[in-house]
Copies of this chain bind each other. A is one copy, B any other.
Amino acid sequence: MKKLVNDPKNVVDEAVAGFGAAHGDIVRVSLDPVFIVRTDAPVSGKVGIVSGGGSGHEPLHGGFVGLGMLDAAVPGAVFTSPTPDPILAATKAVDGGAGVLHIVKNYTGDVLNFETAADLAAADDIEVRSVIVDDDVAVKDSLYTAGRRGVAGTVLVEKIAGAAAERGDDLDTVATVAEKVIGRVRSMGVALTPCVVPHAGEPSFTLADDEIEIGIGIHGEPGRERIKMEPADAIVDRILGPILEDLPVTAGDKVLLFVNGMGGTPQVELYIVFRRAAEVLADRGIEVTRTLVGNFTTSLEMQGMSITVLTLDDELTTLWDAPVHTAALRWGK
């Protein structure tokens, strides 16, 4: 294993410390328990938003802490859910009196640990609502998951719910906005190579030199099928098909098209993918009015990508465009 780490046990602690040192204008970090919080938290009267999950998907979630997005992020060990303790601490740290929304990716461990933390917070008189993101159309039930997995669509939920909270919406409204995004966002991914979890030291799965996994999960969970390598356009068609079958979208609709890198794929390849995906949508009469391209929900150094499509309306577009100021996403202010 060749990785830029010291002791594999300390990867998350050292990375979070480095993140805090690099972005002290945006976040504060706590190392015991581990969480990342925006510098001005708690914002009085504002709904706090907390997300989290296993590390190794950066910039998700810590890179999205800041004005207009998350109030706090709770990173677990690599590919491992955070325990209730740091989730509770983060929830308390962002409670400005208007309640807290938990944005949870649909993995059994995450769902359970966020639920426990929410119960503990309620005992402390903090009102918590939770939404579960399950945008991955690849498989129903999987390693670590009952139902669909939550993947890159989470970024869009965090951005849009974050904007709703920032403009002063109450907890019910912010939760409703988040649910609206979840109802309209679908994703699917492909892996060209596996990745190595630092404390495991071995690839989490293997793929032959000419083989790819269609519908991969962000922890390397099995997808729909393994096939021989194909040209990029053919792969895009394979992935976009199931997304569009499932997505509530019709000709004339406007969408946000998000091409996400899994961590180890060069940017030129992501734009080749974007080009084809935009073509396919145009052919179906679907108008791409907002875009996002880059490594936003990664699986360490995995090569591959996912495509996410969100059906927009005026409200979601306005919230997407609203100012955001985080380490990984920044505009409008």
Chain A interface residues toward B at CB < 8 A: 2-7, 11-12, 14-19, 21-23, 55-56, 58-59, 63, 78, 192-193, 195, 209-210, 212, 229, 231-233, 235, 259, 263-276, 278, 288, 291, 293, 295, 298, 300-301, 303, 305, 325, 327, 330-331
The reply to whether A274 and B21 contact each other, CB–CB distance below 8 Å, is yes
CB distance from A12 to the nearest CB of B (A): 7
The reply to whether A6 and B268 contact each other, CB–CB distance below 8 Å, is no
The reply to whether A58 and B293 contact each other, CB–CB distance below 8 Å, is no
Question: Which residue of the partner chain, among B2, B59, B209, B276, contacts A303 with CB atoms under 8 Å?
Answer: B2
Closest to A266 in B: B300
Question: Which residue of the partner chain, among B15, B56, B267, B298, contacts A272 with CB atoms under 8 Å?
Answer: B15
The reply to whether A4 and B272 contact each other, CB–CB distance below 8 Å, is yes
Given A15-B268, A265-B301, A2 and B212 contact (CB-CB distance below 8 Å): yes
The reply to whether A291 and B23 contact each other, CB–CB distance below 8 Å, is yes
Given A4-B235, A6-B233, A274-B21, A266 and B263 contact (CB-CB distance below 8 Å): yes
The reply to whether A2 and B264 contact each other, CB–CB distance below 8 Å, is no
